[in-house]
Amino acid sequence: MLKLVRRVATRLARDNALHGRVDALEERPQHAALVEQLSARVAEVERRLEERDRAAALAARVKELEEAVFWRGALFYKAFEVAGLWGDYVEFGVYSGATMSNAWWCAKRHLDLFASGAWDHSLAGDRDATKRAIADSFRRMRFIGFDSFEGIPPAAPGENAGPFAAGTYAAAEEVPRGHLARTGVDMGQVHFVKGFFNETCTPQTAAALGLREIAVLHIDSDLYSSALTALDFCTPFLRDGSVVIFDEWFQFNGSPVEGEQRAFAEWRERNPDWNAQELAREATSRMGFVLNRRRPADRATGDGAGGAGNPSAAG
């Protein structure tokens, strides 16, 4: 009896073992296929993640380059690179506040590049002290805007006003104030002088403002007469490296005897001590010049130039 039980047990054990092997044989191909599929899927996901990371890194680099190209190309940015942040930004023709906001951000960008140490190589002596001086200078910098806030005045007798009819671009002071605040400009640096230039451009206004040096002068008031009044008013506050930007340089079909070109030509005739070098053009009609006082030796050779060694103009 015992023998019989042992034989049945042995047989059952062998059957179980056989079944196990059959199961394993049946399952193994399925597992293998599954594992193969899953591995392929994991590899695919990994490849896509790597691609996504590479694409994100590339997109970030493109954005960085685009930004650099944008800033490098912007005339107001170039103006602050050359003039530095010593003195004020003075604008004639504020209207929407768009160009003043742009100017503030260009000056801020110039400051931020210094703070980041991007131009450390160009700073002589005590670098930290120079950086602090530039930051202080920006804090003290004012963005002063002259405008009637009632639009363009009637042209002077005999002046060709072209498309600029009296009253064009009328916008209350709140309009540019709102724009400047919305675009993040430090409103503590912004000052407006309301009125027509022939009434506001006086020594009294200069004294009340405490006008000192002008780093960048922006003339965006369309008419010859407005531009000339602005230039005459600002002359005592110009310095070596001041930049003057004209917004409508090529108005009147680019004629040199109309509009801002006429005003600048007359101003230069009256101020032979100042040399003007073209800095850059922007868009269709914006033009910038760097001003430098002629020294006696320059007058003899007809050559201008000579800067005051502004450390923030390097780079």
Ligand X SMILES: C[S@@+](CC[C@H](N)C(=O)[O-])C[C@H]1O[C@@H](n2cnc3c(N)ncnc32)[C@H](O)[C@@H]1O
Q: How far is CA 45 from CA 39, 50, 52, 274, in A?
A: 10, 9, 10, 67
Question: By CB neighbour count within 10 A (0-12 exposed, 13-18 middle, 19+ buried), where does 5 fall?
Answer: exposed
CB of 57 to ligand X, least distance (A): 37
Closer by beta carbon to ligand X, 86 or else 246: 246
CB of 244 to ligand X, least distance (A): 15
Buried b / exposed e along 261-290 (16+ C-beta atoms within 10 A) = bbbbebbeeebeebbbeebbebeeebbbbb
What are the start-end ranges of the E strands in 18-101? 88-92
What tokens does 169 get?
Answer: 């671009």
Closer by beta carbon to ligand X, 131 or else 262: 262
Q: How far is CA 236 from CA 69, 212, 264, 274, 295, in A?
A: 35, 9, 16, 11, 17
Closer by beta carbon to ligand X, 100 or else 134: 100
Residue number of the CB closest to ligand X reads: 93
Buried b / exposed e along 303-315 (16+ C-beta atoms within 10 A) = ebeeeeebbbbee
CB of 270 to ligand X, least distance (A): 19
How many residues in the chain?
A: 315
CB of 154 to ligand X, least distance (A): 10
Residues of this chain that interact with ligand X (CB under 6 A) are 93-96, 98-99, 147-148, 151-153, 169, 196-197, 220-223, 226
Closer by beta carbon to ligand X, 93 or else 304: 93
CB of 89 to ligand X, least distance (A): 12
Question: By CB neighbour count within 10 A (0-12 exposed, 13-18 middle, 19+ buried), where does 215 fall?
Answer: buried
CB of 170 to ligand X, least distance (A): 7
CB of 223 to ligand X, least distance (A): 6
Closer by beta carbon to ligand X, 189 or else 221: 221
Closer by beta carbon to ligand X, 197 or else 246: 197
Closer by beta carbon to ligand X, 157 or else 296: 157
End-to-end CA distance of the chain: 106
Question: Which residues contact residue 138 at a Cβ distance below 8 angstroms, ignoring those fewer than 6 apart?
Answer: 85, 107, 108, 111
